[in-house]
């Protein structure tokens, strides 16, 4: 077993071009927020078709900036699904707001729009849609609800950069769309994040927010030959640097081919999984182009499937424990089992199988032959 390399559930792809782009910045005059950050922002904005992009130091910082930009505060509630990474909810709490969990649909584990309206109160200010696994949510339904009640629609698209909904790219489907560039995400900058929007006012607030609440950044001041600056709001140091941004620009050029590669792997899984009775893929809605950040299945003897795969050096894992069941949220919000039953049942079954660009040939056969040993398959 020792000679078989460990196969992670996801990993970055970094080539010589990426390395050269980083080295070029290291040899230049600007290493922190400078011209390369602006270039990365305009590259992502034009790739998704958004007017503005604000790069920050992580997806979590991007979510926090989004919550601050729309003015979330102690009086406000924000609706979100529990089937997400904790950072989605934490960003609301950073601003003193209250996360309100709405269950997901059983087939795709995306926020169920038919359950949203009953959770809207006079304090509700926004809905965060999470494109779980890389599949865009039902944005037409969510938009209609948001407009009817005067709410912001935020997209946590940390999984879905490059995915599409009814022929429209993720990044154009919500008032603010948040991306992460953590190494397992669709593209990486090591750590990094971005928010895209068509709203110039929100973009300006987020630019200040990432830089201590100061109105102009150091690079802009140096360009304009002025020393003066003003801090107008309380902000943070959430800046991305030029070293990271150069990697991001280089990575973004490869994203379309990586999405196709992920979709090809998913199609292979789908085809071969139909022969097995122990696992079942999640439903993919026909109106989306899925980004397949994760390839998630329901496994009917999950503990057994998980153990067998892990023993064989295959890094399957579970995304996600429902956020409302974490000890912090149980204590902070008084949440418990029963408030989102679909997510809670799914959590006992789901398993993320490896999928990433340049996954070694034969990986899916290797994975599924192990899966097939469980539950009487042959
Ligand atoms: C990764 C992720 C985040 C946080 O992004 P970081 O860059 O790790 O801070 C937030 N939401 C979701 C759904 C994620 O997958």
pLDDT digits (tens, 9 = 90+) for 80-120: 999 999 999 999 999 999 999 999 999 999 999 999 999 99
Residue 113 to residue 173: CA distance in whole angstroms:
15
What pLDDT sits at residue 378?
43
Site to substitute for ligand 1 among 60, 66, 174, most atoms within 8 A of C-beta: 60
Q: Residue 377's pLDDT band (boundaries 50, 70, 90)?
A: very low
Q: Residue 227's pLDDT band (boundaries 50, 70, 90)?
A: confident
SS3 232: coil
Give the lowest-confidence range in 18-32, 48-62, 170-184, 209-223. 209-223
| % residues pLDDT > 90 (the chain) | 90
Q: Residue 291's pLDDT band (boundaries 50, 70, 90)?
A: very high
Whether ligand 1 lies within 6 angstroms of the CB of 85 is answered as: yes
Q: Is residue 226 predicted with pLDDT exceeding 90?
A: no
Whether ligand 1 lies within 6 angstroms of the CB of 33 is answered as: no
Residue 21 to residue 24: CA distance in whole angstroms:
5
- Residues 6-17 have a mean pLDDT of 94
What pLDDT sits at residue 215?
86
Q: Measured in angstroms, how far is the CA atom of residue 157 from the centroid of ligand 1?
A: 9
Q: Is residue 234 predicted with pLDDT exceeding 60?
A: yes
- Residues 336-359 have a mean pLDDT of 97
Q: Measured in angstroms, how far is the CA atom of residue 192 from the centroid of ligand 1?
A: 10
What pLDDT sits at residue 217?
64
SS3 69: helix
Q: Measured in angstroms, how far is the CA atom of residue 35 from the centroid of ligand 1?
A: 25
Q: Which pTM does this prediction carry?
A: 0.96
List residues with catalytic annotation. Answer: 185
Q: Measured in angstroms, how far is the CA atom of residue 60 from the centroid of ligand 1?
A: 6
Whether ligand 1 lies within 6 angstroms of the CB of 193 is answered as: yes
What pLDDT sits at residue 221?
65
> Which of ligand 1's atoms lies nearest the C-alpha of 182?
7
Q: Residue 225's pLDDT band (boundaries 50, 70, 90)?
A: confident
Its sign, for the CA torsion 15, 19, 179, 63, is positive
Q: For residues 350 and 298, is the Cβ–Cβ distance under 8 A? A: yes
Specify the residue for token string 């996360």: 99
On the CB side of 118, how many CA atoms lie within 13 Å of its CA?
8
Enumerate the H helices of the chain as residue ranges: 16-26, 35-48, 59-69, 86-94, 139-149, 200-209, 218-224, 242-252, 255-273, 302-311, 327-333, 341-347, 363-371
Q: Residue 16's pLDDT band (boundaries 50, 70, 90)?
A: very high
Give the residue from 315, 319, 311 showing the smallest Cα distance to 363.
Answer: 315
| Mean pLDDT of all residues belonging to the chain | 95
């Amino acid at each position: 077993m020792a000679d078989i390399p460990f196969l992670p559930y996801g990993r970055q792809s970094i080539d010589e071009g990426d390395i050269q782009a980083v080295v070029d910045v290291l040899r230049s005059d600007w290493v922190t927020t400078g011209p390369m950050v602006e270039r990365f922002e305009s590259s992502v904005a034009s790739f998704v078709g958004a007017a503005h992009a604000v790069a920050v130091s992580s997806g979590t910082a991007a979510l926090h900036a989004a919550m601050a930009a729309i003015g979330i505060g102690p009086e406000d509630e924000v609706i979100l699904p529990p089937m997400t990474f904790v950072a989605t909810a934490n960003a609301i709490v950073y601003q003193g707001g209250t996360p309100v969990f709405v269950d997901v649909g059983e087939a795709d584990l995306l926020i169920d729009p038919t359950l949203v309206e009953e959770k809207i109160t006079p304090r509700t200010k926004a809905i965060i849609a999470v494109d779980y696994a890389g599949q865009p949510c039902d944005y037409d339904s969510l938009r209609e609800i948001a407009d009817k009640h005067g709410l912001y629609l935020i997209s946590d698209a940390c999984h879905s950069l490059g995915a599409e909904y009814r022929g429209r790219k993720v990044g154009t489907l919500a008032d603010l769309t948040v991306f992460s560039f953590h190494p397992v995400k669709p593209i990486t900058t090591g750590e990094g994040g971005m928010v895209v929007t068509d709203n110039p006012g929100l973009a300006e607030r987020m630019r200040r927010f990432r830089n201590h609440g100061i109105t102009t950044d150091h690079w802009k001041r140096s360009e304009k030959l002025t020393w003066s600056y003003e801090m107008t709001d309380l902000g943070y140091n959430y800046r991305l640097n030029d070293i990271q941004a150069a990697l991001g620009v280089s990575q973004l050029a490869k994203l379309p081919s990586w999405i196709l590669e992920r979709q090809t792997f998913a199609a292979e899984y789908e085809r071969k999984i139909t022969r097995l009775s122990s696992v079942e893929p999640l439903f993919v809605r026909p109106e989306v182009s899925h980004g397949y950040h994760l390839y998630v299945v329901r496994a009917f003897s999950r503990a057994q499937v998980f153990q067998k795969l892990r023993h064989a050096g295959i890094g399957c894992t579970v995304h996600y424990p429902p956020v409302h069941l974490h000890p912090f949220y149980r204590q902070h919000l008084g949440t418990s089992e029963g408030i989102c039953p679909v997510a809670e049942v799914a959590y006992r079954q789901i398993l993320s199988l490896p999928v990433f660009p340049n996954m070694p040939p034969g990986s899916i056969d290797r994975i599924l032959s192990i899966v097939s040993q469980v539950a009487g398959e042959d």
